[in-house]
Structures are given as structure tokens and as C-alpha cells.
Amino acid sequence: YLETSGATLMGGVSRPPQTPQEFAWALTQGFGRLPEFLAIPRDAPDAVRIKAALEWWIDGVVSENQTISFLQLCIGFEALLGESGDNSIRSVERGITERLADRYAYLRGRTQSERETHRAAFSTMYKRRGQIVHQRETHLRRSDDAEACLKAREMLFGAIADELNAFMRALPKKG
């Protein structure tokens, strides 16, 4: 988000970027080492998930249809935190929402109480995804749903930032 100038004491309001230049600037501000990260080959094993999630986040941010945006952000979580390959045996034992919520909580939280808070927030947000997909709803209807979309956008941004930063710290230092 960009800060606009304004007549308020706080200097303006936050708004999504609207031009390609604003979008590029907002990304570099939010993900400080993004240019260095994007230079890593697309098929680098540890970067694939992060790059896929980042692409879904971008799609979710720029989509004008709020329902589609929300679902794209949820797919971003699945790209970042989901499992690769066929894990049908594990899927039966434990639902995807539970696994994603646990992974999100451990990525974002530093203490057990923080993890519980993050787990609950993720489960609440992701429950709405299930209602849309499984009940075949075509629109986000209530103000709570609009809030779920904004929350998903913020949560995915934070998760990508944490994972990206951890990945970049793990890279070998250049000479």
C-alpha cells in the first residue's frame, strides 16, 4: 500500500498501488530484497513456492472482483504453505485447513500464544474460502467478507515476507 499525501496530521491514507510504477515501488518497500530474490532462477527448489505465492498475491491484489481476489489469495497460501506432490494418505489423516493453519502459525508466531492467535486468525479467514468453494457462492456478500479479503491480503503478504526473508538469510553470503 502507498501513503497518499493529505491534510491530516498522519499525512494521508493508505491505498493500493494503481500504476505499474507504484506497484513496483510498493513491492520493493514491502519485500526489501525482492530484486535479488527475483534474480534467482525460477526452478530453484526453495524459491519455487515463494515465487508462486508472490504471483498469486499480486493477482489477488490487482483483481477487481473481490471474490476472485479472495480465492487467489487463498491459493497463494496453498502455494506457500502447502505440500508438493501427492499426499493423499496424509490428507485423509489431517485436513488442509489444519495443516495450513499450523504452518502459518509457526511461520508467523514466535511464542506459543502468538502461534495460537495466528492459527485462529488463519482458520477463521480460510473457513470463508471453504464456504465459497464448497457452497458455490459467487460473491462475497457481507462487510465481514470484505474484511476477510483484506485480512487474507495482509496475512499472505506477511507470510511471504517472513518466508522470503528466511530464504534470503539462508543463502550463502557473496564474497
pLDDT classification of 93: cutoffs 50, 70, 90: very low
Q: Can you give the pLDDT at residue 142?
A: 61
Rounded to whole angstroms, what are the CA distances from 101 to 10, 13, 82, 93, 115?
A: 35, 31, 10, 15, 9
The yes-or-no verdict on residue 165 having pLDDT over 90 is no
The number of C-alpha atoms within 13 Å of 41 and in the hemisphere containing its C-beta is: 3
Q: Can you give the pLDDT at residue 58?
A: 87
Q: Can you give the pLDDT at residue 168?
A: 84
pLDDT classification of 8: cutoffs 50, 70, 90: very low
The yes-or-no verdict on residue 117 having pLDDT over 90 is yes
Higher pLDDT pick, 90 / 15: 15
